[in-house]
Structures are given as C-alpha cells and as structure tokens.
Amino acid sequence: MIRKLFKNARIITPFDPGKPLEGKEQGKVTRIERGALLCRDGIIEAIGDEKEVVSHNPGHDLDVVVDCSGRCLIPGFVDPHTHMCFAATREEEFSRRMEGMEYLEILRRGGGILSSVRAVRAVSEEELFSATRKHALSALKFGTTTLEIKSGYGLETETELKMLSVIDRIGRETPLDVVPTFLGAHAIPGEYAKAPDTYVDILIQEMIPAVSQQGIALFCDVFCEEGAFSLDQSRRILSRARDAGMGLKIHADEAHDLGGAGLAAELGCISAEHLLAANEENLRAMAEKEIIGALLPATAYSLRKDYAPARNMVKMGLPVALATDCNPGSSYTESMPFIFGLAVLGMNLEVNEALVASTLNAAYAIGMAKEVGSLDKGKKADFLLLDGEGPAILAYHAGVSSVRGVYKGGELVFST
Ligand code: NIG
Ligand code: FE
C-alpha cells in the first residue's frame, strides 16, 4: 500500500452528484485555495483544505509528500470521442479541403474515411498499434488521462476486430484508461457502394455478433449522415447493438439534420455527438432524457463550419461534454487544451462550464464517471498541474499547452 499526499495546490474541480451536470450547474466547480489531495494506491482517499486533510492524516504513514508549489490542480481530461486508431494522415486531402472541396464530396469520391480504410486494412496489427500509441501518448502529454477510441476504418469484420484489439492494447500498454467503441457503421465500404443495405445487413447479422463475442467494445456508434447511414439504417444498427448488450452513441446531425439527435433520445443513447445541424425540438428531447451532447469544436474549426449552439444547449438543460474527435480527416488534434480554448472563445462556454464538459460530463459520456472525471473520494487520482492561476489559462494562453504535470492514479506520467 502506498499513500501519497499532494499539498499546497489550488484545487479546482467539479464534485460528482451522481449524474452529469447541466443547465445552471454545467459550470458547478469547487475551488479550494490551499488544498491537498491524499491518495492510497492511486485512489483518492481525502481531498479538501490542506489543514483539514493534514490534521486527519498527520504524516507518519505517508510514503510520499509532494508540494505542488501553489499550482492549479484540476482533474485529468477525459476525451470521450476519438478516431485515433488510424494508419496514415490525409494531408493531401486537407489541402483540397482548404481549396474549397467539401468533406462529404471527398468521401463521395472514394477518399476521406474510405482512404483511411484502405490504409488500415493494409497494415499489420503491430504497425497499427504503434501508430495509435503515438497519438495516445500525445493526448496524455496534453493532459488526457482517459479516452474513448473508435474502430471504423476497417468496415469488414476482420479489420474491425483488428482495430478493437489494438484499441484494447492501448488501454493495457499505456498509462491511459481507454474505452473502445465499435464504429463499423462509419461509411459504406466501396465494395457495397451500390448495395448499402447489404452492408447494413452484414453489420447486423455478422459484424455486431462477432464484435460482441470478442467482448472488447463497450459502445456501438453510427455515422448518421447523408452519404453514410440514413436515420432508418442507424436505428436498425443501434437497436441490434443494444440487443447485443452494447451502450449506444451516435454521430448526429454533423452536416445535415437527418434527425440523429431525435434518434438518440428515442433509443436512449448515452450521448449524441457533433449536433452542428440538430434542430431545437430534437435537442430538447435529448435534454429531457439527460442525453449528453458531446461537442467537437475542432471539427467545426477544421471544416470551417459554425460551431454547435453550446450556449443554447446549456440553456435548455442539455448536459454538454467536449471531445477532440481526433481523426485524420475532419479534426486532427489530440489536444484537449486546444478544444478547451475553442469551447470558451468559439462557443462561448464559461471556463468552469468547459472544465465540467471536459472532465466530469465527458466521463459520463463514456460510462466512466464512477472511476474518473472529478476528484471525488473513491475515484482515481487522475489530475493535472497547470501553469496558471486557474483553468482559464487553458484558453487564454492560446496555441500552447499549459499542462505542466500529468498524474494518472497518483503517478507522475508526464511533466515539463
Ligand atoms: O467525427 N464524421 C465522421 N467521422 C469522423 C471523421 C472521420 C474521418 O474523416 O476520418 C468525424 O468527424
Ligand atoms: Fe467522430
């Protein structure tokens, strides 16, 4: 048993009321001017005012005492939506997009997601693992201590299972906690371009059963979008996944309002992502069911689109989370500090709202809130030391990372 005390820290954290924070509470955080955090074997045992924590734990059985020199201490970021398991970047496509070609037009021409599919099918599991590990460790340096990674660049059973096994290894062979999501419904593979419903049948009859038998994916996701999967196809796929025992997520209304946000409410998805084009009525239906809106501002930024209406969502009581969407096409970044900056400056979230969105609500969005997402007693001692007076530094000091120390389960895993 190892007991560690982190003292002399300005602690800023949400505390977990047992559900995601929403509406007026979206920005509910506690600030402890001179705080301390005590952990045993990586689990938080006490947190609060330094004097109180120390008086209850006088020191004789502490193994390590760390003086945080008054630095700001916040929970580690949780990134609840990434596609960082890929084999090659798409720089040439980025240039074409910057010249004006639409993201979905590139996909229609067999590029975009389908070009990543060709690359992932062509590499060995080992090569895919080392490419993915590089992105995961980059995320860790930017302060992400837990993340979700989706499959979706295989689009055939064997390669989807290869991706899920790589994603599973990332969780076992890096300091990060990783939540794997099956996204076989990411695009219609070229071989079924003329018979998309046949691919949906394969997803339902072959792929979901195989994935559920492999037992790695906790969630199933669908890209519900023109040129990808219709609302009806998405409903069929997600219903089958629910029967197979997986949690549900959906890429909803990213470019067009197909009603994905409404489907999320209908099926009781844990979260719906993107929501740039979602209509008000469906957002309200999500809010009523406490479905998390996972917003991906770097995608709007990279696609030069308007940001999702985050203020409106907070106003209607929809719990908001933030994620990178890290992928080689629409949002190539592992940096949660960058997302934090876009959320505050681009989407007008208050700093404390963005903090909750990138920690506690993000943990809820991937079913990890019992373990991570806030600095509650009993959760993992996953936290960051920032170079600044508070989390505002993450948005204010733009284009850099103000994360100076990353602790996972009480262990220092990155410092600068
Ligand atoms: O969330 N929109 C669908 N999927 C990803 C992009 C994946 C890719 O372009 O490779 C997204 O934006
Ligand atoms: Fe995505």
pLDDT in tens, the chain (416 residues): 999 999 999 999 999 999 999 999 999 999 999 999 999 999 999 999 999 999 888 777 889 999 999 999 999 999 999 999 999 999 999 999 999 999 999 999 999 999 999 999 999 999 999 999 999 999 999 999 999 999 999 999 999 999 999 999 999 999 999 999 999 999 999 999 999 999 999 999 999 999 999 999 999 999 999 999 999 999 999 999 999 999 999 999 999 999 999 999 999 999 999 999 999 999 999 999 999 999 999 999 999 999 999 999 999 999 999 999 999 999 999 999 999 999 999 999 999 999 999 999 999 999 999 999 999 999 999 999 999 999 999 999 999 999 999 999 999 999 99
Residue of 292, 252, 259 lying closest to 274 (CA atoms): 252
pLDDT score at 59: 72
pLDDT score at 214: 97
DSSP letter assigned to residue 370:
T
Hey, where are the domains in the chain?
Answer: 3-75+374-415, 78-364
CA 133 to chain centre: 16
The CB of 328 under 6 Å from ligand 1? The reply is yes
In total, the chain counts a number of residues equal to 416
Ligand 1: residue of 79, 83, 92, 275 to mutate (most ligand atoms within 8 A of CB) is 83
Q: Are 153 and 119 in contact (CB under 8 A)?
A: yes
Ligand 1: residue of 327, 331, 332, 333 to mutate (most ligand atoms within 8 A of CB) is 327
C-alpha 250/C-alpha 236 separation (Å) is 13
Q: Whose CA is nearest to atom 1 of ligand 1?
A: 325
Looking at domain 3-75+374-415, its CATH class is mainly beta
pLDDT score at 58: 76
Kindly give the number of the ligand 1 atom that is closest to the alpha carbon of 254: 2
pLDDT score at 72: 98
The CB of 254 under 6 Å from ligand 1? The reply is yes
pLDDT score at 247: 98
Q: Are 268 and 256 in contact (CB under 8 A)?
A: no
The CB of 83 under 6 Å from ligand 1? The reply is yes
Supply the pTM of this predicted model.
Answer: 0.98
Q: Whose CA is nearest to atom 8 of ligand 1?
A: 329
Sign of CA dihedral 280, 281, 282, 283: positive
- CA of 159 from ligand 1 middle (Å) equals 18
C-alpha 74/C-alpha 350 separation (Å) is 16
pLDDT score at 281: 98
C-alpha 131/C-alpha 228 separation (Å) is 26
pLDDT score at 56: 84
pLDDT score at 60: 73
pLDDT score at 390: 97
Looking at domain 78-364, its CATH class is alpha beta
Q: Are 250 and 269 in contact (CB under 8 A)?
A: yes
Identify the nearest ligand to the CA of 260 by its number.
Answer: 1
pLDDT score at 40: 95
Q: What is the residue whose two structure tokens read 């695009």?
A: 187
Q: Residue 361, CB half-sphere, CA atoms under 13 Å: how many? A: 32
- CA of 254 from ligand 1 middle (Å) equals 10
pLDDT score at 224: 98
DSSP string, 177-245: EEEEEEEEETS--GGGTT-HHHHHHHIIIIIHHHHHHHT--SEEEEEESTTSB-HHHHHHHHHHHHHTT
The CB of 376 under 6 Å from ligand 1? The reply is no
Q: Which residue type is seen at 282?
A: N
